[in-house]
Amino acid sequence: MPVADANGQKIWQRRSGRESLAHWLMWLIGVAVFAYCWQQISEATTWFFVQDAPRIAGDIWSRATPPKWEYITQLGKPIWDTLNIATLGTLIALVLAVPVAFLAARNTTPSRFLIRPIALLIIVSTRSINSLIWALLLIAIIGPGVFAGVIAIAIRSIGFCAKLLYEAIEEIDEGQVEAITATGASRWQVMAYGIVPQILPAFAGIAVFRWDINIRESTVLGLVGAGGIGLQLSSSLNVLAWPQVSLILIVILVAVVISEWVSAKVRGAII
């Protein structure tokens, strides 16, 4: 009761006594948790180095400028590899994500209690783990190189694409599906005529969106040895060749901006 009676006068409060207590208690716990976290971080930090940070930052900056422009001649192949990792990874992921999405959507899954949970498990487990971790794992299994990068990107993207796609499948207009069923169409024909045309725009949008993200992710996969421009970044960092590092960062930034521009254009053309 926000309105209380006190000495015959009505007093309006935003929250009643108990609510307000619970409210404050929640804030208190929140602040305590944050304080604890901060203390943990602080303990693990050598503050002496942190005090030195502005000087180090300035030092790095002066070493990194100007970028070593002529190094760009050696970046052609790594950039091509990066593009391939992102594009092929996205294509493989899409091929695998489509069946998973159909198995996961409530209205198309063959079995709600057996197959749907499995499909959802595939989605959540591939989605929860970053592509860098997938790359680490694949490098341990099949050795370093571009191929590991392609597969890592593909696995990471399956869950992402399948999740968005199955949500799109669940939102289709059932009337159109019903109408196709009523003509005596087979299960596959119902899918091709009733469902696929409805989710095609969503599918194209998801593909381009994920490709854009994958360009970003594949630029850093090389840090763990999975090919692409990240390899050059990692080796330049190892020898502290800061002018090369700054050039690579500029190239990555440009690639990210271009991919975002392309994906925005393509999405605009589809919708």
Residue 164 lies near other proteins (rule: CB under 8 A): no
Closer residue to other proteins (CB): 101 or 233:
233
**Which of these ranges, 65-73, 97-105, 109-117, 175-183, lies near other proteins under the rule CB under 8 A?**
175-183
**Which of these ranges, 4-12, 20-28, 42-50, 65-73, lies near other proteins under the rule CB under 8 A?**
42-50
- Give the alpha-carbon dihedral of 185, 188, 193, 195, to 10 degrees: 120
Q: Which of 204, 208, 212 has its CA nearest to residue 83?
A: 212
Q: In the complex, what is the shortest distance from the CB of residue 51 to other proteins, in angstroms, rounded to a whole number?
A: 10
Among 13, 16, 20, 40, which residue sits at the site for other proteins (rule: CB under 8 A)?
A: 40
Among 95, 140, 250, 264, which residue sits at the site for other proteins (rule: CB under 8 A)?
A: 140
Residue 198 lies near other proteins (rule: CB under 8 A): yes
Residues 91-110 that bind other proteins (CB under 8 A): none
9 backbone dihedrals φ, ψ, rounded to 5°: -105, 140
Residue 220 lies near other proteins (rule: CB under 8 A): yes
Site string for other proteins, 70-89 (x = CB under 8 A): ----------xx--x--xx-
Residue 237 lies near other proteins (rule: CB under 8 A): yes
Q: In the complex, what is the shortest distance from the CB of residue 231 to other proteins, in angstroms, rounded to a whole number?
A: 13
Closer residue to other proteins (CB): 147 or 243:
147
- Give the alpha-carbon dihedral of 30, 32, 38, 40, to 10 degrees: -120
